[in-house]
Structure 1
Amino acid sequence: MLDLTRLRADIPAYDNVTWPTPVFLDSAGSSLPPRPVLDAVTAHLRRETEIGGYRAANERLDDLESVKTAIGTLINADPAGIALSDSATRAWSDFFYAVPLAPGDRILISEVDYASNAIATLQRAQASGAVVEQIPSDDTGQLDLDALAAMLDERVKLVSLVHAPTNGGLVNPVAEAARLTHRVGALVLLDACQSAGQLPLDVAELDVDAMSATGRKWLRGPRGTGFLYVRPELAATMEPTRLDLHSAAWVGPREYRLAADASRFEFWECDVAARLGLGAAVRYLLDHGPDEVYAAIAANAQQLRKTLAGIPEVTVRDLGSRHSGIVSFTIDGWIPVDIRDRLLAQDITVTVSHRGSTLLDMSARRLDSVVRASPHCFVSPDELERFTEAVTALATGR
């Protein structure tokens, strides 16, 4: 069982804070890093000021490689299939733009696909002559597996899946969708931006061909970090749209050779300190036991979901039969941005998810925006109570 006191002692944001403590419910946006992450980043930046960035990086080559090892342990992947990136969006795009497309090819996206992913599919469809089609949701709001099965044929080249969307607590049936997709030889690209660090991620179990994730959300790493997983045997067959002297070697006046593994999706220049911080964040999660962390996040979210559902004038907007650590809601008569700002005035941090981020889903539900509360494992029961009391006061006009 997690030691809440120890977890909170590891968070610099709680140093020297008197009661009432801030209520932080935005791990779906950018979470509070633990002290080992801060120490890893600042120590390397300090070292760069002492001897320069090149020498400082050379001192940490083994540590940089161990970042991939830690991620591989977390997601049950060969480190050779992992490429470090500066964001989940960059990682997703690097893979997607390397998938060959021709006129008449089909790209399938889900109803909760993220705006950045959808925009990329539309751009490539316009350039290549491929078409983008939407997989319907079922009655619960999750991906409709029967509809997907009916849509699949040999012209489908890629299916874009979102494990947990940005605008609510839905969790999609990824493994089942991947199995269906592979029957027609299509690739599965999973957006795990909102699931890495809060839900189990076993790439072998999920049966995905590629997966993108960020460091700054539930993993509690620095901003400007992320990673891409690609099945190693697939990575060896793909050529990214952009290369440098890290992703490939210049071996002759007119010849280059791609890196043998997923590092062909990386560039040489990077934020070394941030990547060391990402490694510290992943190891922190592994040290505390991922299953324990996931269970605590789920319990906190379930408590919020249950309590909010009992408040008059409050509507919980989460879809699906299985839920993540994101809790979305609205209050009758209130604009979500105003709810966010009123809560912030009480040192309660939530965020708002707008229609433009998940256009298909929000339009279908006639929602312009929702409030998004995302409690990590370090949030205390007292803080959850303060949050629900504050929401109750807004909903009842007190």
Structure 2
Amino acid sequence: MPTFFDLDKLRLDTPGVTHRNHLNNAGAGLLARPVLEKMVAYLRREADIGGYEAAYEASGELAAVYDSVARLVGASPSEIALTENATVAWQMAFYALRFKPGDRILTARAEYAANYVAFLQVAQRTGAVIDVIPDDAQGVLDPAALQRMIDGRVRLIAITWMPTNSGLVNPAEQVGKIARAHGIPYLLDACQAVGQTPVDVERLGCDMLSATGRKFLRGPRGTGFLYVRKSLLPDLEPPMIDHFGAVWVAPDRYELRPDARRFETWENNYAARLGLGAAVDYALAVGLGEAERRCRQLASALRDMLRDVPGVALHDPGAELSAIVSFSVQGRDAAAVNLQLLNAGINVSHSKPSSALLDHLARQLPTVLRASPHYYNTPQELEALAAALRALR
């Protein structure tokens, strides 16, 4: 495995950098060579000996993925479930909770659309109430405001740590301290955080955490995971089960698995799971502290460059910023700019108002462009983006 400071080796391990300027790691990071090789080798084995047989042969490696993910977030392997994506992971946790009329769900203004529509559905079904935690003067979730909102009706605190549409970093650890002090379940969406920053569920104080493999973790698409605190597991009945998550013990009775794998189903993509495990091991070898330092250093440099580009406005609130750089170009449609950059070999993405509607409405944001460098990017690649924006016609 490479060390963080061996940038040449990191880029050699990343085939995509040879022909693309990839600044869309908040969408999907470029696969590292060991991840690709692990997946391809497993698929070849499936083709050679059969799917069931390949899975049996790789059973030790497949079990080790739980160990790797647990190390990544500071948990026990029994507290980890592997899922098809982060949305499934988050939904399994959220829909396992029971709500009644008047129960309160506290969430952030910059909450992700997939999560918020689930809040709305449960509110319509059960009579639960959604309350948005106010932001402070810098546009960051205000822990003092959260503290004032706590009462006996709060059933859940659920926030996105780093949102999809900006470099905002919500104070996830401070939220966790408040949740624990009051014994309130805390569900943290860490989709954009995992892979670009160290994650420790004990320090964060969260009871449940969902994440994807495809973003800064640099794993394959179609992978995700869920952490559930062991002490909370007995209180959670998965919204859907099969004979993997629950054992059929009598004609009229089943027993849920005692671990977090009660949230899984029997059939899954083993090649992708092995790719996820390889990506986690790669991230751990690089070092998440070093990855965070490099990612944020590059993002800060990019913001400085974009401030000097005429017509470009930055849209990242807060003093602490992640490696997601959101911006707009005056008089230009974001999707059209995205396409022009793509045609020039520069990968970015754009975030529509509907992806984080409350935040877009509160800040009156347009559709924003989103550049998200990773540790394998170079200053020259950032400069190429700034130059392409200057050259827009």
TM-score range (shorter-chain normalised) is over 0.9
Q: Which runs of 5+ in 2 are unaligned?
A: none
How do 1:159-308 and structure 2 match up within 5 A? 159-308=157-306
Counterpart in the other structure of 2:369 = 371
- The answer to whether the Cα contact below 8 Å between 2:328 and 2:366 also exists between their aligned partners in 1 is no
Residue-pair matches, total = 390
TM-score scaled by structure 1? Answer: 0.96
Q: What does the per-residue CA deviation read over 1:210-259, in whole Å, with 9 as the maximum and x for residues that have no partner?
A: 00000000000000000000001211331101111110111111111110
Greater shift, 380-389 or 244-253, is seen at 380-389
Alpha-carbon distance, 1:185 to partner: 2.2
Matches of 1:206 and 1:306, distance apart in 2? 31
Q: Which residue of 2 aligns with 1:7?
A: 10
Distance in 1 (alpha carbons) for counterparts of 2:275 and 2:165: 27
Alignment correspondent of 1:155: 153
Per-residue Cα deviation, 1:102-140 (whole angstroms, up to 9, x for no partner):
111111111000001000011011111111111111111
**Amino acid of the residue matched to residue 79 of structure 1?**
P
Give the distance between the partners of 2:134 and 2:44, measured in 1 at CA: 51
What CA distance in whole angstroms lies between the structure 1 residues aligned with 2:188 and 2:111? 10
* Counterpart residue identity of residue 120, structure 2: L
Q: CA deviation at 1:99?
A: 0.6
Q: % of aligned pairs identical?
A: 47
The one of 80, 96, 99 aligned to 1:98 = 96
Residue 343 of structure 1 corresponds to which residue in structure 2?
341
Q: Give the drift of 1:183.
A: 2.9
Q: Residue by residue, what CA displacement relative to the aligned partner does 1:254-274 show, whole Å, maximum 9, x if unpaired?
A: 111110110111111100000
Asked whether the equivalents of residues 108 and 160 of structure 2 are also in contact (C-alpha less than 8 Å), the reply is yes
Cα deviation code 1:168-190 (max 9, x no counterpart) = 10101011112112333211100
3-state SS of the aligned residue for 1:178?
helix
Letter in 2 for 1:191: D
Tell me how far apart the structure 2 counterparts of residues 315 and 361 of structure 1 sit (CA, whole Å): 17
Contact 1:10-1:35 within 8 A present in 2 as well = yes
Distance 2:234 2:183 in 1: 17
1:31 is matched with 29
Q: CA deviation at 1:159?
A: 0.8
Could you state the TM-score of these two structures normalised by the residue count of structure 2? Answer: 0.97
Q: Deviations over 1:155-178 (max 9, x none)?
A: 000011111000010101011112
Does the CA-based 8 Å contact 2:341-2:347 persist in structure 1? yes
Q: Work out the CA distance in 2 between the residues paired with 1:238 and 1:332.
A: 48
Q: Deviations over 1:2-49 (max 9, x none)?
A: 2111011112224xx4xxx42110000011100111111111111111
Equivalent residues of 1:2, 1:293 under 8 A apart: no
369, 375, 379: which one aligns with 1:381: 379
**Structure 1 counterpart of 2:279, one-letter code:** A
Residue 140 of structure 1 pairs with residue 138 of structure 2: yes
| Match of residue 86 from structure 1 | 84
Q: Name the Cα RMSD after superposition.
A: 1.1
Q: Which amino acid aligns with 1:244?
A: D
Unaligned runs of 5+ in 1: none
CA contact (8 A) 2:87 2:114 kept: yes
Structure 1 residue 344, shift from structure 2 partner: 1.4
CA distance in 2, matches of 1:56, 1:12: 27
Deviation at 1:60, TM superposition (A): 1.3
**Counterpart residue type for residue 115 of structure 1:** A
Corresponding position of 2:51: 53
Check conservation: 2:106, 2:154, Cα contact below 8 A: yes
SS in 2 for 1:236: helix
Assess if the C-alpha contact under 8 Å between 1:243 and 1:267 holds in 2.
yes
Structure 2: distance between partners of 1:22 and 1:44: 27
AA of the residue aligned to 2:202: A
